[in-house]
Amino acid sequence: MRAATPPMGWNSWNMFGATVNAEVIKQTADAFVAGGLKDAGYRYIVVDDFWQGGRGEDGKLFPDPQRFPEGMKALADYIHARGLLFGLYSDAGPQTCGGRPASQDFEETDARTFAEWGADYLKYDWCYAEDTRANAEHRYGKMSAALRATGREIVFSICEWGQHSPWLWGAKAGGNLWRTTGDIGDSWRDVPVSWGVLYGIESIGFEQQRGLEAHAGPGGWNDPDMLAVGLNGGSQTIAGAGCTPIEYRTHFALWCLLAAPLMIGCDVRRLDSGTREILTNLELIALDQDPLGRQGYRVSRNGFCELWKKPLAGGEWGVALLNRDNKRQTARGHWSDLEITSRYRIRDVGLLQDRGESSSEVTADLDPHGCAVYRLTPA
Ligand code: GLA
C-alpha cells in the first residue's frame, strides 16, 4: 500500500521557494544520510514549485536548465543511490502557483515523464484550476489514474488547501494525502497571508483539523501542511519571524499526534542541535507512524489547556496536554475525560522519561505554549 503510514521527508518550498536548485537537493540528500534524518525514517525529498523550465515541442516538461543542468533523472538517481525517494511538484491547472507550466490537459504525458525520471511522489497544487469541487475530483482523479497507468508506485499528494473538503473524496480520487489548510506560517500566531503554526484559537488552520480524524487512515492522510520547525524566520517564502524552541517542539508533537505527514521545511544542511533533536525524536515519530493509523483529536479544553488523545495499536494511547496560554499552567488529563479505565504505564515521549503508573490521571506543569506528550501502555 502506498503511504501505509504518513509520508516523512522534506520539501523545498518553505525554505528555498523559487531559488531551489539541484545542488541544494543533492546536499539535502547527503544531509539526510549524514545527519540521522534517514535513520529516523525521513525518506522523500520533494522538489516543489519552480523546477520547471518549460514545455518542449515534444509536449514534455523540462527542468530549468540553469538550476537543474543535469536534468531530473540524474537528480533522482542521486537521491535513490542514497536509499531515499524523489518527489516532484505540479499543478492541476494550466500554470503552477509560481506561473510555471503545469499539467492541466497534459496529465498522461506528465505522469509518464515523472515516472521516467524516477519520481516516487507527486505534490499536485490547485492554482489557476477551475475552482469547483466537481473539477477538483475530476482533475485529481485524472492525474492519479495517469500516475497509476505508468506502473510506478508514486505517492499522490493533493494540495487544494481544503477548499472542497478533500477528506471526503481525496482517497477516491487516488490521493494518499490532502492538504486541509492554506499555507502554514513560521510563527505561533497568524501572520498576514499564512496561518500561524497553532493559529489563533478561534481561527482556522490548526483548528480546521477538528473532526477530520474520521477521514484519515493507512493510505490516505489529512495534511495540515509542512513543518515550520527550524525555519527560525529564515524562510524565503512563508511569512513569520519564527517560533521559540518550545513552540517548535509543540508544533512537532502535535503533528505527530495528528498522524500528519512529516515534511521538514527548513534547511537540513545546517541543522542546529535543538532542531535536530526535535525532528529525530524517535518516540514521537513512533506515535505519528503507529500502524493503526488513527489521527489524534482534542477530547477536552479547560481555559487555555487542552487534552488530546490518539489511539495506538495494541491498546496503547498517545496523550497530549497542551498549554496555549502565554503563562505557565498546570494541566491534567483524567482517565474519565480520556474515556479510558485501566492502569497504565506512562512514558513521557517528549522528554524521553518514564513517569511511573497510574489508574487515574497524568498532570504536567507546562511552559507557555508548551506541551507534554505521553504514551500509555496497559500495565
Ligand atoms: C501553494 C502551495 C504551497 C507551495 C506553493 C508553490 O501556495 O500551497 O505549499 O507549493 O504553492 O508555489
Contacts of 46 (CB under 8 A, 6+ apart): 9, 10, 11, 12, 86, 87, 88, 89, 121, 123, 263
* CATH assignment of 8-288, among 3.20.20.70, 3.40.50.2300, 3.90.550.10, 1.10.760.10: 3.20.20.70
How far is 350 from 249, CA to CA, in rounded Å? 8
- The 10 Å Cβ neighbour count of residue 302 is 11
- CA–centroid distance, 282 to ligand 1, in Å, is 29
User: Which of these, 187, 176, 116, lies nearest to 152 by C-alpha position?
Assistant: 116
Q: Would you state the pLDDT for residue 200?
A: 41
Residue among 304, 299, 212 nearest 259 (CA): 212
Same-fold call for 8-288 versus 297-378: no
- Can you read off the three cell numbers belonging to residue 280? 529525530
- The conformation of residue 6, written as its DSSP 8-state character, comes to -
Candidates 198, 252, 211; CA nearest to 373 is 252
The domain ranges of the chain are 8-288, 297-378
User: What's the 15 CA to ligand 1 centre distance in angstroms?
Assistant: 12
Nearest to 102 by CA among 123, 81, 76, 121: 123
pLDDT at 191 (0 to 100): 61
Q: Angle 71-81/22-34 helices, nearest 10 degrees?
A: 10
Strand partners, 332: 363
Residue 183 has what pLDDT?
86
Condensed to tens digits (0 to 9), the pLDDT of residues 60-87 reads 999 999 999 999 999 999 999 999 999 9
Q: Give domain 297-378's CATH superfamily.
A: Golgi alpha-mannosidase II (2.60.40.1180)
How many CB atoms lie under 10 A from the CB of residue 283?
Answer: 16
Task: Give the separation between CA 309 and CA 333, rounded to whole angstroms.
Answer: 10
Which pLDDT score, from 0 to 100, does residue 287 have?
Answer: 98
Give CA–CA dist 183/161, Å, rounded.
8
Pick the atom of ligand 1 nearest to 48's CA: 10
What pLDDT is stored for residue 61 in this prediction? 98
pLDDT digits (tens, 9 = 90+) for 304-332: 899 999 999 999 999 999 998 889 999 99
Which residues of the chain are under the pLDDT cut of 70? Answer: 190-205
Give the 3-state secondary structure of residue 16: helix
Name the 3-class secondary structure at 155.
strand
Ligand 1, CB cutoff 6 Å, lining residues? 13, 48-49, 96-98, 125, 159, 161, 183
Strands 297-302 and 262-264: unpaired
Cα(342) to ligand 1 centroid in Å equals: 45
